[in-house]
Structures are given as C-alpha cells and as structure tokens.
Amino acid sequence: MNRFLLFLLLASSAFAGTITGVVVGVHDGDTLTLLTAAKEEVKVRLWGIDAPEMGQAFGKTSKESLSDLTFKKSAAVEEKGKDRYGRVIGVVLVSGKNVNLLQVETGMAWWYRDYAKKAKDLEAAQDAARTKRLGLWADKSPVPPWQWRKDEKKK
C-alpha cells in the first residue's frame, strides 16, 4: 500500500472514538470546550450543524441555548474528525441526548447539509422546526451562517 494512503488511513482512525469530560466553555451555538479528566481542554465543533454567528440574528440566542444544554455538564463527544482549525468535530451527548440534534430541533442551528448529507435526523429536525417557525425560523427570511460569512467577507 502506498505510504501516503497508509498515513491517511491511520490518521483518520486516530479520530475515531469518544472523548468525555465537562463542558467548561461555550463559544457560540455550535462550538464548545470540553475539559477531560486528564485536564486537557478540547475545542469541539458540533458535527452536522451550523449555528448563526454571534453578529448575526439569533447568534446570541443560539449560544445561550447551547450553554443551557451543556455548560458545566458532563458530556461525551463521538469524534468524526478534525476541522481545518484543529477542533474536534463530533456529536455531543449530554445525559444521553444528542445536543447537535437538539440545536436543530429548537431552531437554534441549521442542518449543515454540505458536511452531513446523510444525516436524515438533522434534515427532519430542520424541516419540523421550519414548519413550526421555531427559533431562527421565526424570521421571515433567515440567512444561513455560511451565506452570512460569505457576505461579511465582501464588506
């Protein structure tokens, strides 16, 4: 096997697994910091969702929602990989509940289709939140964060 392919295989398998700890920081509606038992701080980006940015409508509300769900609570993170900023990408579970899914169900985040195409649970949650006009879906024409970021770069 090609050495490069072997390296990629080993590197991707290194991300598989679960990290546990206590949530000690919430940065926005889709990013938090977990403190492990080994006193290591791990920055975690919630997989499959994209929450409004802090300068965007519902940004603060989304952050407050994630904080209410996770801050100072024990959590398990099912790792999916790492992003370009070195953050762990994962599904966050608190008391057995999928926090990523809860953020979408309550209209505090979008299903990030480009990165989670097969996440039918997130798709269904977003459709239900939109139909019920929950959270960001109460806005007449909510702007997805990926579009908002793109627009901000043009300014």
- Cβ proximity of 137 and 129 under 8 Å: yes
**Are 28 and 59 in contact, with CB atoms under 8 Å apart?**
yes
Do 102 and 135 contact (CB within 8 A), yes or no? no
Quick check: is 87 catalytic? yes
Query: Does 45 qualify as catalytic in the annotation?
Result: yes
Q: Which of 97, 112, 93, 92 is nearest to 49 (CA)?
A: 112
- Which of 3, 40, 84, 87 is an active site residue? 87
Q: Residue 11 half-sphere exposure, CB side, CA atoms within 13 Å?
A: 7
Helices (DSSP H) in 14-91: which residue ranges? 59-70
User: Letter for the amino acid at 59?
Assistant: G
Active-site residue flag, 105: no
* AA letter at 16: A
Token pair of 70 as six digits: 């996770």
Active-site hit among 40, 41, 45, 78: 45
Which pair of structure tokens corresponds to residue 153?
């770069």
Catalytic residue (one of 3, 41, 53, 113):
53
- Residues marked active site are found at 45, 53, 87
